[in-house]
């Protein structure tokens, strides 16, 4: 009997450790890349965003880059990672899982005035502002 309880407890502990490891791996996978604090460097480091959209927030143009959610057998993200850049290209905010971060959504709005743009258009937007 004690042997069965010990085996059961060991299985539960192993599952817990595996879940913590996967969550940590998933969080690190969506963290903005080291040194990619501007939009152009970010897009060069992460060349396959799922969507990019330009929007106006508080009278200023911003760009939101949506990444691809990192799937894990032990967790299901409710939304993609999201990264907000201002019109100068500076990274101003990000969320590892947009669907599980209501404060991020309420801060940046519902993106009702957003227009989808390409990677090239996003880079041109920043380069045009630098002139």
Q: Where are the domains of the chain?
A: 2-130
pLDDT band at 54 (very low <50, low <70, confident <90, very high): very high
Q: How far apart are CA 28 and CA 54, in angstroms?
A: 26
pLDDT in tens, 62-104: 999 998 877 666 666 677 899 999 989 999 999 988 888 889 9
Nearest Cα residue to 72 out of 42, 48, 101, 96: 96
Structure pTM?
A: 0.78
- Please provide the size of the chain in residues: 131
The answer to whether residues 57 and 63 touch, using CB atoms and an 8 Å cutoff, is no
Nearest 5°: the CA angle 121, 127, 130 is: 150
């Amino acid at each position: 009997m004690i042997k069965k309880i010990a085996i059961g407890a060991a299985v539960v502990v192993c599952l817990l450790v595996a879940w913590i490891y996967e969550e940590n791996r998933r969080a690190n996978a969506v963290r903005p890349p080291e040194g990619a604090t501007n939009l152009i460097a970010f897009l060069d480091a992460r060349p396959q965003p799922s969507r990019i959209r330009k929007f106006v927030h508080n009278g200023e143009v911003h760009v939101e880059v949506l990444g691809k959610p990192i799937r894990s057998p032990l967790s299901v993200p409710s939304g993609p990672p999201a990264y907000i850049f201002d019109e100068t290209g500076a990274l101003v905010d990000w969320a590892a899982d947009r669907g599980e971060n209501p404060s991020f959504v309420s801060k940046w709005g519902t993106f009702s005035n957003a227009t989808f743009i390409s990677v090239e258009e996003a880079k041109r937007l920043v380069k045009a502002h630098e002139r």
